[in-house]
Amino acid sequence: MTADIDDFDRSILAFLQQDASLTVDALAERVHLSRNACWRRIKALEEAGVITRRVALLDAGRVGCPLSVMVLIRTNDHSPSWQTAFRKAISALPEVIGAHRMSGDLDYVLRVRVSDVAAYDRFYKKLTSRVSVSDISASFVMEDIKDTTALPL
């Protein structure tokens, strides 16, 4: 269900997506609301599940995982027990920063962050030792043209 948000809410969300460390006073000034009205809107957006959490975004290279890998997976087993094992395996591997079940020819796409190709190979061996897949391939990201966490409002 889509939350009922107005232009003030959209403005608050846009600023928070760019910098969640803004104080309520600074945010209220930017969206042209009183401090209390802005704070109430933020709390309402949190309670409605629109704002799910506030996080720090890190520079992947500076924390040792500059290589971004798209891992494409196909499986012949779609049983509930395989899906449970797959979800458990993915959850246990911190290199996986995104996991998506797909329609079409692919079953899953993983977004993985590692230090280098050798680290990807170690990741590959860990994953395939935990869950059986019929086909797995990887594409290494050569350049990030656009990489954002901000949703279009």
Are 133 and 80 within one domain?
yes
Domain ranges, residue 14: 7-47
Residue 23 sits in a domain whose CATH number is: 1.10.10.10
**Domain contains 2:** no
Q: What is the mean pLDDT of residues 143-149?
A: 95
Q: Mutual orientation of helices 7-18 and 24-31 as an angle, nearest 10°?
A: 130
CATH number at residue 103: 3.30.70.920
User: 67 with 119: CB under 8 angstroms?
Assistant: yes
Q: Is-contact 72 109, C-beta < 8 A?
A: yes
133 in the same domain as 73: yes
Q: Does 85 share its domain with 125?
A: yes
**71 in any annotated domain:** yes
Encoded tokens for 35: 């401090």
pTM for the whole structure: 0.88
State mean pLDDT over 100-117: 97
Q: In this predicted model, what pLDDT tens digit does every residue of 113-143 receive, in sequence order?
A: 999 999 999 999 999 999 999 999 999 999 9
Supply the pLDDT for residue 42.
97
Q: What pLDDT is attached to residue 35?
A: 97
Tens-place pLDDT, residues 48-80: 999 999 999 999 999 999 999 999 999 999 999
**pLDDT for residue 3:** 74
Q: What is the mean pLDDT of residues 30-45?
A: 97
pLDDT at residue 1 tops 90: no
CB-CB contact of 73 with 128 (8 Å): no
> Who contacts 90 (Cβ-Cβ below 8 Å, separation ≥6)?
96, 99, 110, 127
The total of structural domains in the chain comes to 2
